[in-house]
Amino acid sequence: MDAQTTSPQPHHVVHYVNRVGWLRALVLGANDGIVSTASLMTGVAASGAGSQSILLSGVAALVAGAMSMAAGEYVSVSAQSDTERADLAKEKKAIATQPDVEWAELRDIYVERGLTPELAEQVAEQLMAADALGAHARDELGISDLATARPVQAALASAASFAVGAAPPVLAAAIAPAGNAIVAIVGTCLLCLVLLGHVGARLGGAKPLRSIVRTLLWGGLAMAVTAGAGRLFGAAI
């Protein structure tokens, strides 16, 4: 065999940290959809309401929750985007008016990260020449293509993940026999939380058991507290 066939092939390592942004939004939206919708429906059911009222509360929770998630995510990420643009504008002006000062800032950053002063000077000089604003955005401000705020994308992703999470409890209430709404909703919610915890852990490279226990604990607590409130105030009325 020649050297080319025996040499190791280059490969790309998949790092889980690259998934943090969208994975967090996905898990947060789905978990919120499952827990908040199932908890509200459980509370309504525990108050003694009829099947139609329980189902209506679930549909209302799904729609309102998805819109709330979309609006909240859009507003918060837009604020982040505005801040990023303002910082980039300041940095662009500083590079144009004080290039030596900005070069020194970049050099000092690389020295703090472990490069020798001589090498840091060379790296800073070459990066300033190639893409000064990109270098400062990445290494001074911490802004990169992976972390850039995208309000519309974040809003749509949050709304969709919430709706996907909220749908199973609503469907369970719709097909459950009369008088068994709470059992169907709680059972479906717990099953979905197990699946969500497992999938989230696998995508993030973590141990599934810890994630599953965590989601089950908080989801079960939320439903129990809401059901208690529904029973208390339903009886009072």
pLDDT of residue 189: 93
For residue 213, the one-letter residue type is: V
- If one compares 193 and 235, the residue with the highest pLDDT of the two is 193
pLDDT of residue 24: 65
Spatial distance between the Cα atoms of 69 and 67, rounded to a whole number of angstroms: 5
Q: Residues 158-168: pLDDT tens digits?
A: 899 999 999 99
For residues 226 and 39, the answer to whether their CB atoms sit within 8 Å is yes
- If one compares 5 and 37, the residue with the highest pLDDT of the two is 37
Asked if pLDDT for residue 236 goes beyond 60, the answer is no
Q: What is the DSSP string of 113-152?
A: TT--HHHHHHHHHHHHHHHHHHHHHHHTS---TTT---HH
**Range with lowest mean pLDDT among 79-93, 136-150, 171-185:** 136-150
pLDDT of residue 20: 45
- Phi then psi dihedrals of residue 207, to 5 deg: -80, 125
User: 113: which 2 tokens?
Assistant: 């990260």
For residues 34 and 219, the answer to whether their CB atoms sit within 8 Å is yes
Q: Residues 173-231: pLDDT tens digits?
A: 999 887 888 999 999 999 999 998 888 777 767 788 888 898 889 988 999 999 898 88
Q: What is the mean pLDDT of residues 66-80?
A: 89
Spatial distance between the Cα atoms of 128 and 136, rounded to a whole number of angstroms: 9
